Amino acid sequence: MIYIMYKKILVVICMIALIAGGATAQSVVKKKERKGEFYFSWGYNKEWYTQSDLYISQPGLGNDYVLKAVKASDKPGWDEDLLGKAISIPQYNYRIGYIFNKKKGLGFEINFDHTKYIIYDQMVHMEGTYQGKSVNTNKVFARSNTDSTNSYYFLNNGANFLLFNIVKRSKLYETQNHKVKVDFLGKAGIGPVIPHVENCFWGVANEPHFQIGGWNVGLEACIRTTFFNSFYLEYCNKIDYARYSGLKINSGTAHQAFGTYEMILNLGYTLPMGRREN
């Protein structure tokens, strides 16, 4: 009788121990969870630009004029034999970020877009002073075999937007086995522009070069789908406003400001980092 009672008590103790052990195991798992999360991605983009006024100053040539409401286009590159080109030739972008508070979804990010900005083959309206004379007329701005009329304006090796972003992540969906997660990320930031300046105005070309050329601000909204807590695919829409100044052209400088709308697709990798949470 006493043996049976002890046996029952032993069974109860074992059950309590198992429950406590399970709770402890869960507690250990929670303690092992990292507070932060590092991520990086690479992808490609497509742009549309607002019209803008392009200001030209060449004191030595007697030029101080503006080309009004010029139109610009991008040059994706990935739409023409992507696999046959180096990954840095098309309009690419990368993000390097760190979620420093996973519970609140807060983080920061280095955000770079290699975007191409092309102006040529259009009629432009010129106002100001050209070769020391007052002008208010329309002119053809296009590539030409004639030296005196050959004209183009390229930020072709990049208008190059660099942003330092604040990031807010919000969970939208997660499967029961936690293998697939869908998140929304909102981003906002400011930073420099680093254009590659290449141009020719009415037959007078510059020496192509990179330079710090102004600043930009941007807002970005992304849907990120993460698989197995590691790899993710991210689709983003972004608006950017950039002001370029002191861009070196032959015998002078150029400045302008324009807005950009971007669509971006990234492939990335994420991994936990930082101190462990209790």
Q: Tell me the DSSP string of 168-230.
A: EEEEEEE-TTSSEEEEEEEEEEEEEB--EEEEEETTEE---EE---EEEEEEEEEEEEEETTT
**Both tokens assigned to 247:** 């861009």
Q: Encode pLDDT of 199-241 as tens digits.
A: 999 999 999 999 999 999 999 999 999 999 999 999 999 999 9
**pLDDT-based confidence at residue 31 (cuts at 50, 70, 90):** low
The letter for the amino acid at 9 is I
88 three-class SS: coil
User: What values do phi and psi take at 194, rounded to 5?
Assistant: -130, 70
Q: Encode pLDDT of 90-137 as tens digits.
A: 899 999 999 999 999 999 999 999 999 999 899 999 999 999 999 999
Q: Which carries the bigger pLDDT value, residue 77 or residue 96? A: 96
pLDDT of residue 115: 96
Q: What is the mean pLDDT of residues 136-141?
A: 96
Q: pTM of the entire structure? A: 0.84
Q: What percent of the chain shows pLDDT beyond 70? A: 85
Q: Rounded to a whole number, what is the largest CA-CA distance in the chain?
A: 118
User: What values do phi and psi take at 24, rounded to 5?
Assistant: -65, -40
pLDDT of residue 86: 75
Q: Which carries the bigger pLDDT value, residue 231 or residue 81? A: 231
User: What values do phi and psi take at 140, rounded to 5?
Assistant: -80, 125
C-alpha 93/C-alpha 265 separation (Å) is: 9
C-alpha 205/C-alpha 241 separation (Å) is: 27
pLDDT of residue 94: 96
Close Cβ partners of 6 (under 8 Å, ≥ 6 residues apart): none
Q: Encode pLDDT of 56-67 as tens digits.
A: 999 999 999 999
**pLDDT-based confidence at residue 81 (cuts at 50, 70, 90):** low
C-alpha 167/C-alpha 185 separation (Å) is: 7
61 three-class SS: helix
Task: Say whether pLDDT at 23 is over 60.
Answer: no
Cα→Cα distances 29→70, 100, 177, 256, 276, Å: 59, 20, 16, 55, 10
Lowest mean pLDDT among 22-31, 154-163, 200-209, 246-255: 22-31
Lowest mean pLDDT among 32-36, 43-47, 92-96, 117-121: 32-36
**pLDDT-based confidence at residue 273 (cuts at 50, 70, 90):** confident
Q: What is the mean pLDDT of residues 142-156?
A: 90
